[in-house]
Amino acid sequence: MSRVLLVPNSIEDITKLKDKVDGFILPIKDLSINYNYYIDIKDIDKILKELNNKDIFISLNKNMHNSDLPKLKDTLLMLENYNIKGIMYYDISIVNYKKELNLKNDIVWNQDHLVTNYSTVNYWYNEGSKYAYLSSEITKNEIIEIKKNIKAKLIANIFGYVPIFTSKRNLVNNYLETFDKEKVSNIYYMYKEGIKYPLVEEGNGTVAYSGYVLNAIKEYFDLDLDYYVINSFLIEDIEKVVDIFNTLDKDNLEKCYQKLSKLIPNTSEGFLYQETIYKVKR
Amino acid sequence: MKKVELLSPAGDLERLKYAILYGADAVYVGGTVLGLRANAINFTIDDLKEGTKFVHDHGKKIYVTVNIVLHDKELKIVEDYLKELDKIGVDAIIVSDPTIVDIALNKTNLEVHLSTQQSTINYEAIKYWENKGVKRVVLGRETSKEEIEEIRKNVDIDIECFIHGAMCAGYSGRCVLSNYLTNRDANRGGCSQICRWDFDLLDEFGNKIEAEKPFTFSSKDLSMLKYIGDMIDLGITSFKIEGRMRSIYYLATVISVYRKAIDDYLNGNYEYNKELENTLNRVANRDSIPQFFDSNYGANTSYYNGRVELSNQDFLGVVIDYKDGYATVEERNYFEKGYNVEFFGPNIDTFSMKIDKIIDEDGNDIDIVRHPGEIVKIKTDRKLSPNDIMRIKIS
């Protein structure tokens, strides 16, 4: 039976929705990126106690610089004291720390767009990653093929905006500064041919999101993955979205899909049925 | 004396030969499969054999990029392809996907270099790869001088850094703008360079921000000429030039400049000078700066002047022979009698002269050479050799 994780937008989301989802992905300030809400490591004890019976994944998915390593190491050691499902990583330093420090917490291979084949899922599984968080740029058939050939548990995005670009540069600020404009918010949009792509710029750089909200609910039962992720970033009424998922069963799949499409008009099934190309015909 | 490798891209055999002749210590090339420049000409197996022989005959090295992010359907060809590369005798492969690392290390004798696509920017991550048997890591371009220094202190592995060329706007591997805007897979060689596109920038309420130029992610290019001594002193193993799709003229120019800078520094007489920088600028598409190396990656690193990829008119011709005071030149861009030109090449000091006499293939005196590929003879003051290049006088 698949379980649903929420990427919260705020502490209020956590409090309000903790009884409606199976668990949360919790990003830690200064060690995570691509989120709109980060938890100070000092507050983690209180939050985890409040979420005692939930499936908790801690996201430490930033590209780590040398200067991040002391805090990263301390955080990994501190998290050994808590009952969490796993630690999501992008940077391979975390795999090395798991080995060097003999850490007991499971880790989750979460290299955004690189989680695209079963062989590499198995590679990281053998290196201690008991979970893999699939790329959102692969097809349904590829996901099925991966699932058939692995032992790791799988996590995939099912609803929400998808991060599609991460930079260390402050690209919005660079632009505004160059043309003598004031930066008044962390959220902007880049706009092209009728599509708005959200841009978030905070301390660790710039993130661009998909121009649509991924809605893969139709594949919930067919794919039958271990965890599905709902990302609440920029979703105004996330509670209604969660409520729809909570009413989901095999008989009302289409109805739930329609309800979500009505609630959030700007949705897409992403790459589930559309393979990307890389060799351009001349 | 420290050994430093100058590593050049080569999009095809001709460019490979020019790169080696103009002073590269090693070249990196892509095969027809599993590389990240799917739309370049690339090297067939026969090309790889010929290229490897040429490179080795000159005492240099060749690395093959196998840096695609694999999907299931590509898995079946990996092992055979790596074994073929092993048999050809290439010196290393540049890899991003751990499946390929694993197969290369366990089923072939290939040396493995970790691609910048993994955005490796700290010593703990490098330790992981070092323990696995990877011989070299290409650092993420986001590393500063101080960070490289700290990495160098903590690991023994070879370190490769980019020194020149275009920059990704985001962390390598962490950008799929191309997938979402054009359905072309950025991590499988289909990148359509969305970071160079123009966009409107809207505020959080959807209002367009009016400015003189449109919004873009575009970054200026990288040039490390000013810091070449610092980089050598840091103990970086290999200095990499970006651009497998660049022309022979670009490669010859950039390699010549860095070859001279590196050799001069190692011989104790390097002095950064504007003349060399100016030579690099003449073949550049954009302004070039040190990017993250000096930790100054603010507004000055962004580039808002649109796509400037005009055909470079400086490149006038290639010397294919020399006899009796005349260079036989194959034309690449228009030139005429009276032009002030420069010749540069692997075995000559760059010199300039005015064209006084041009003779066509039938032995007639002519004033203008206007057709690309046209073969003419030019009277020169000094002896030249095949593969020397004639350009418009720069300074």
Residue B304 and residue A169: Cβ atoms within 8 Å? no
Q: Where are the domains of chain A?
A: 3-268
At B32 the pLDDT is 87
Nearest chain B CA: its distance from A37 CA (Å): 17
Q: Does the pLDDT value for residue B67 go beyond 80? A: yes
- Kindly state the greatest CA–CA separation across chain B: 74
Average pLDDT for chain A: 95
C-alpha torsion sign, points A269, A22, A112, B197: positive
Q: What letter represents residue B115's amino acid?
A: S
Interface test with B, best of A169, A182, A197 (most B CBs within 10 A): A169
* Angle formed by the axes of helices B274-282 and B248-266, nearest 10°: 160
Q: Are B173 and A113 in contact, with CB atoms under 8 Å apart?
A: yes
Q: Does the pLDDT value for residue B312 go beyond 90? A: no
Dihedral angle, C-alpha B226, B229, B233, B235, nearest 10 °: 70
Contacts of A118 in chain B (CB under 8 A): 72, 75
At B274 the pLDDT is 87
**A180-209 burial code (b ≥16 CB/10 A, e <16):** ebeeeeebbbbbbeeebbbbbbeebbbbbb
Nearest chain B CA: its distance from A10 CA (Å): 18
As a whole number, mean pLDDT of residues B362-390 equals: 94
Asked which of A102-111, B28-37, B213-222, B284-293 is least confident by mean pLDDT, the reply is B28-37
Residue of chain B with shortest Cα separation from A118: B72
User: Could you give the CA distance from residue A153 to residue A108 in angstroms, rounded to a whole number?
Assistant: 9
Question: What is the SS3 assignment for B196?
Answer: helix
Q: Is A174 on the interface with B (CB under 8 A)?
A: yes
Give the count of Cβ contacts less than 8 A between chain A and B: 219
At B36 the pLDDT is 67
User: Could you give the CA distance from residue A111 to residue A99 in angstroms, rounded to a whole number?
Assistant: 19
At B190 the pLDDT is 85
Residue A123 and residue B75: Cβ atoms within 8 Å? no
H or E stretch covering A162: strand A153-167
As a whole-number percent, the residues of chain A with pLDDT over 70 amount to 99
Q: Does the pLDDT value for residue A184 go beyond 60? A: yes
Q: Does the pLDDT value for residue B282 go beyond 90? A: no
At B33 the pLDDT is 82
Residue of chain B with shortest Cα separation from A214: B180
Enter the tokens of residue B73. Answer: 């359907």
Q: Does the pLDDT value for residue B34 go beyond 90? A: no
Q: Where are the domains of chain B?
A: 5-174+220-301, 315-392
Nearest chain B CA: its distance from A18 CA (Å): 29
Candidates A116, A192, A278; nearest CB to B199: A192
Residue A166 and residue B171: Cβ atoms within 8 Å? yes
Residue of chain B with shortest Cα separation from A209: B177
Q: Are B364 and B247 in contact, with CB atoms under 8 Å apart?
A: no
At B378 the pLDDT is 96
Q: Does the pLDDT value for residue B311 go beyond 60? A: no
Q: Is A181 on the interface with B (CB under 8 A)?
A: yes
As a whole number, mean pLDDT of residues B233-242 equals: 97
A residues 112-171 closer than 8 Å to B (CB): 112-114, 116-120, 123-124, 137-138, 142, 145-146, 164-171
Q: Is A82 on the interface with B (CB under 8 A)?
A: no
Q: Is A268 on the interface with B (CB under 8 A)?
A: no
Nearest chain A CA: its distance from B149 CA (Å): 10
At B38 the pLDDT is 66
Q: Does the pLDDT value for residue B111 go beyond 90? A: yes
H or E stretch covering B224: none
Residue A277 and residue B124: Cβ atoms within 8 Å? no
Fold of B5-174+220-301: TIM Barrel (3.20.20)
Enter the tokens of residue B105. Answer: 């290390």
Confidence of residue B310 (pLDDT cuts 50, 70, 90): low
Enter the tokens of residue A46. Answer: 């209180």
Question: What is the SS3 assignment for A106?
Answer: coil
Identify the DSSP state of B310. Answer: P
At B395 the pLDDT is 63
Of B222, B233, B237, the closest CA to residue B285 belongs to B222
Residue A117 and residue B177: Cβ atoms within 8 Å? no
- Write out pLDDT tens, residues A33-71: 999 899 999 999 999 999 989 999 999 999 999 999 999
Q: Are A232 and A7 in contact, with CB atoms under 8 Å apart?
A: yes
- Write out pLDDT tens, residues B329-351: 999 999 999 999 999 999 999 99
Contacts of B171 in chain A (CB under 8 A): 63, 166-168
Q: Are A158 and A213 in contact, with CB atoms under 8 Å apart?
A: no
Confidence of residue B309 (pLDDT cuts 50, 70, 90): low
Residue A96 and residue B124: Cβ atoms within 8 Å? yes
CB contact set of B390 (below 8 Å; sequence gap of 6+): B316, B317, B318, B319, B327, B329, B335, B341, B342, B343, B378
Confidence of residue B2 (pLDDT cuts 50, 70, 90): low
Enter the tokens of residue B178. Answer: 């191309």
Enter the tokens of residue A163. Answer: 């991060």
User: Could you give the CA distance from residue B35 to residue B385 in angstroms, rounded to a whole number?
Assistant: 35
Residue with tokens 């790791």: A152
Confidence of residue B308 (pLDDT cuts 50, 70, 90): low
Identify the DSSP state of B227. Answer: G
Q: What is the architecture, at CATH level 2, of domain B315-392? A: Beta Barrel (2.40)
pTM: 0.94
Q: How far apart are the first and last CA of chain A?
A: 47
Nearest chain B CA: its distance from A177 CA (Å): 7
**Strands A187-192 and A153-167: what pairing?**
unpaired
Residue with tokens 């009277």: B379
As a whole-number percent, the residues of chain B with pLDDT over 70 amount to 96
At B306 the pLDDT is 67
Identify the DSSP state of B165. Answer: E
Nearest chain A CA: its distance from B252 CA (Å): 28
Contacts of A196 in chain B (CB under 8 A): 202, 206
Beta bridge partners of B92: B63
Candidates B74, B190, B204; nearest CB to A187: B204
Q: Does the pLDDT value for residue B387 go beyond 70? A: yes
At B295 the pLDDT is 87
As a whole number, mean pLDDT of residues B182-196 equals: 90
C-alpha torsion sign, points A16, A18, A22, A27: positive
Q: Does the pLDDT value for residue A147 go beyond 90? A: yes
Residue A191 and residue B299: Cβ atoms within 8 Å? no
As a whole number, mean pLDDT of residues B173-186 equals: 94
Residue B211 and residue A66: Cβ atoms within 8 Å? no
Q: What letter represents residue B338's amino acid?
A: G
Of B172, B18, B154, the closest CA to residue B94 belongs to B172
* Superfamily, domain A3-268: Aldolase class I (3.20.20.70)
Candidates A66, A96, A175; nearest CB to B150: A66
User: Could you give the CA distance from residue A197 to residue A188 in angstroms, rounded to a whole number?
Assistant: 8
Residue A164 and residue B176: Cβ atoms within 8 Å? yes
Residue with tokens 């010859």: B252
Identify the DSSP state of B110. Answer: -
